Amino acid sequence: MIEKVQDNKGRGAWSIKWRLTVLYFVSAFGILLISTVILYWVLAKRLVKEDGQFLAAKIGLLREILKEEPNNQDVLREEIEWERAPFRLAKYYARILGPSGNIIIETGKMRSIAPVGIFPKPAGLSEIPSRATRRKSTNGHNLLLMTALAKAGGPNGGIRVLQLALDISHEDELIFDYRKQLVIVLLVGILLSAGIGIFIAGKGLKPVEKMTRTIQHISAHQLHRRLGQSDWPLELNDLAGAFDGMLDRLEDSFNRLSQFSADLAHELRTPINNLIGETEVTLSRERMPGEYREVLESSLEEYSRLSHVIESLLFLARAESPEANVEKKKFDPRKEIEDVIEFYEVMADDKGVKISFAQTSNPDSDFVLNADPTLFRHALSNLVSNALRYTSDGGKVDIGVSRSSTGRVDVWVEDNGIGIEHEHVARIFDRFYRVDSSRSENKSGSGLGLAIVKSIMQLHRGSVSVESEPGKGTKVTLSFPS
Ligand code: ADP
């Protein structure tokens, strides 16, 4: 039974093993068939050629004897009765006819095997027949016949007809046997090549099966397992490497997802527990209307925070969906930057932080950003709000824009606040990741701000980078492609 595997569209597909087996079998069988046919053909051709040459040589010899010693019956008889050497399979017959068709001399028993009438027309005096004629004798013998004219020398000279026959029945039997043996060799060859084909294909694909088995055992709980690159044949090494790379990424995503779920639960549980606790305490006895108002106001704060977290998560989910689209426009980012500065100026004043648009080296140059203005403002606001949050009284926040020779536009926000420890820098773009909430005076940060910035930059096929030194400040740069 031929194995078939189902591809993901439900269509049957030939397995590689069977493809290899069939290809191997067809080529091996083809080679075997061609070689046996050639061997057979060469042998058959060679026998026919040798027989023809033998008869032609005999004609030459008889012509010579008739010319030199036409009346020496002994020599003629000796030549005519000449038996082929024992290793020869064909039996030889010769006959000399006189001018009127009378038989002058012939090999014994020739008349019954090769009568005069079955011979072809004779070749001319100086000719040798180009090839022998094949005939079946009356008693079923396979014969090769040659007829030629000869000139007898001496006073009674005249034209003679030489009739030569070779009984090749034995040769034909040999060829028939040989053919049977070739068919047997061919059949055995077919079986062997099919068997060897299956064996070779199976052996060659063993590593693939091993790889499949190893992969089958990798579940969500064993994402740490790897195929490794040393044990596989050369062709599978790259595949194993690519698969391990995919597992690395999957494991990383999986860990982040687990962490994210845990963080999300924690993030929502704390405010909700606070709300429940506060409400229970309030309801434990009668309160004055003012007290109820106070509780409602503080609850509203929690509700706003929860709503902000949910809004941010929804934003991230939408940004990551494949259908997410950005409505890009070409605009000058300086106008948007000034609007954001204006918006945060009051907050900055309250904190005693100076916020300003840093002068660019080429203020007159054109800065054209190809981006979604709303998303750009969202990302920039997140960076400015972070910069203000992590910069203390007397500090400063600068916003700048620059353009590279390739047309890329960089927008950066730099502060001289508390900075970020080196080990946290790679993780601050993860959802809910906060370096240390106790560091910030304002603990309302949800750890989603930079994750949103990263999503926005991914939507624009741009990037975001951070340079930071603890105690000195932080610079976050948004790079938009041209
Ligand atoms: P959050 O809402 O907590 O600020 P973000 O995703 O915006 O969340 O930032 C993640 C973490 O990165 C913050 O908790 C903070 O520790 C650190 N961070 C971000 N921006 C700055 C900055 N300008 N200076 C110092 N630390 C920063």
Would you say residue 183 lies in a domain? no
The ligand 1 atom nearest the CA atom of 418: 25
Average pLDDT of the residues in 465-474: 95
Would you say residue 142 lies in a domain? yes
- Gyration radius of the chain over CA positions: 52
Pocket of ligand 1 (CB under 6 A): 386-387, 390, 415, 417-420, 428, 433-435, 445-451, 474
State the distance from the centre of ligand 1 to the C-alpha of 368, rounded, in angstroms: 28
Residue 261 shares a structural domain with residue 372: no
Residue minimizing CA distance to atom 16 of ligand 1: 435
State the distance from the centre of ligand 1 to the C-alpha of 61, rounded, in angstroms: 116
Q: How many CB atoms lie within 10 A of CB 283?
A: 11
Would you say residue 3 lies in a domain? no
Task: Give, for 92, the enclosing helix (H) or strand (E).
Answer: strand 91-97
Residue 335 shares a structural domain with residue 472: yes
Cα separation of 305 and 55, whole Å?
A: 116
Q: Minimal CA–CA distance to 382: which of 278, 311, 329? A: 311
> Mean pLDDT in the chain?
86
Cα separation of 196 and 194, whole Å?
A: 6
State the distance from the centre of ligand 1 to the C-alpha of 280, rounded, in angstroms: 34
Would you say residue 415 lies in a domain? yes
The ligand 1 atom nearest the CA atom of 434: 14
Ligand 1 site-directed mutation target among 381, 386, 422, 442, most atoms within 8 Å of CB: 386
Residue 347 shares a structural domain with residue 397: yes
The ligand 1 atom nearest the CA atom of 444: 2
**C-alpha torsion angle, residues 32, 38, 44, 46 (rounded to 10):** -130
Take residue 352 and report the two structure tokens written for it.
């005693």
State the distance from the centre of ligand 1 to the C-alpha of 434, rounded, in angstroms: 6
Query: Angle at the Cα of 428 (from 423 to 431), degrees rounded to 5?
Result: 135
Q: How many CB atoms lie within 10 A of CB 402?
A: 16
Tell whether the model's pLDDT for residue 443 goes beyond 60: no
Residue 126 shares a structural domain with residue 247: no
Q: 12 pairs with which residues across the strands?
A: 6
| pTM of the full structure | 0.54
- Number of structural domains (the chain) is 3
Q: Minimal CA–CA distance to 399: which of 362, 354, 429? A: 354
How many alpha carbons lie under 13 Å from residue 467 in its C-beta half-sphere? 7
Tell whether the model's pLDDT for residue 16 goes beyond 80: yes
Tell whether the model's pLDDT for residue 236 goes beyond 80: yes
State the distance from the centre of ligand 1 to the C-alpha of 286, rounded, in angstroms: 42
State the distance from the centre of ligand 1 to the C-alpha of 415, rounded, in angstroms: 12
Cβ contact 140:167 at 8 Å:
no
State the distance from the centre of ligand 1 to the C-alpha of 468, rounded, in angstroms: 11
Question: In the prediction, which pLDDT does 84 show?
Answer: 55
Split at pLDDT 50, 70, 90, the class of 252 is confident
State the distance from the centre of ligand 1 to the C-alpha of 419, rounded, in angstroms: 9
Task: Dump pLDDT digits (tens) for 168-187.
Answer: 888 888 889 999 999 999 89
Range of the domain at 338: 329-480
The DSSP 8-state label assigned to residue 364 in this structure reads: T
Tell whether the model's pLDDT for residue 8 goes beyond 90: no
Question: In the prediction, which pLDDT does 163 show?
Answer: 93
How many alpha carbons lie under 13 Å from residue 156 in its C-beta half-sphere? 8
Query: Angle at the Cα of 132 (from 129 to 138), degrees rounded to 5?
Result: 135
Residue 313 shares a structural domain with residue 363: no
The ligand 1 atom nearest the CA atom of 436: 16
Ligand 1 site-directed mutation target among 428, 446, 455, 472, most atoms within 8 Å of CB: 428
Would you say residue 272 lies in a domain? yes
Question: In the prediction, which pLDDT does 5 show?
Answer: 45
Q: Which of 291, 319, 347 is the last residue of a domain?
A: 319
Extended strands (E) in 130-224:
133-136, 142-151, 159-167
Q: Minimal CA–CA distance to 165: which of 148, 177, 178, 150? A: 148
Would you say residue 303 lies in a domain? yes
| AA identity, residue 429 | F
Residue 260 shares a structural domain with residue 367: no
Residue minimizing CA distance to atom 14 of ligand 1: 434
Cα separation of 144 and 21, whole Å?
A: 47
